[in-house]
């Protein structure tokens, strides 16, 4: 089971799990047009899963710094 990182960008594992769920849903669909849309979204998730974890970590760090600066401005 996947557990989300609190306040962080999703990990590669998250995207892989979501893609798998969408692909299973796609296989159960009878409407081919909707199935194509679901498959496209699953492919997007698989592409996101291919991003290196280091890049995601760097992005998380930048997002945290930005969010903290915004919080300090509001005080």
pLDDT tens for 42-54 read 999 998 888 776 6
Q: Are 39 and 45 in contact (CB under 8 A)?
A: no
Indicate yes or no: pTM above 0.75.
no
> Which residues form the domain of 38?
12-73
Low-confidence ranges of the chain (pLDDT < 50): 1
Please state the domain count of the chain.
Answer: 1
Residue 41 lies in a domain: yes
Residue 6 lies in a domain: no
């Amino acid at each position: 089971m996947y557990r989300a990182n609190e306040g962080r960008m999703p990990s590669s594992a998250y995207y892989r799990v979501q893609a798998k769920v969408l692909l299973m849903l796609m296989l159960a669909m009878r409407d081919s047009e909707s199935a194509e849309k679901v498959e496209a979204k699953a492919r997007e998730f698989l592409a996101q899963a291919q991003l290196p974890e280091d890049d995601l970590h760097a992005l998380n760090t930048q997002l945290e710094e930005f969010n903290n600066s915004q919080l300090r401005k509001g005080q």
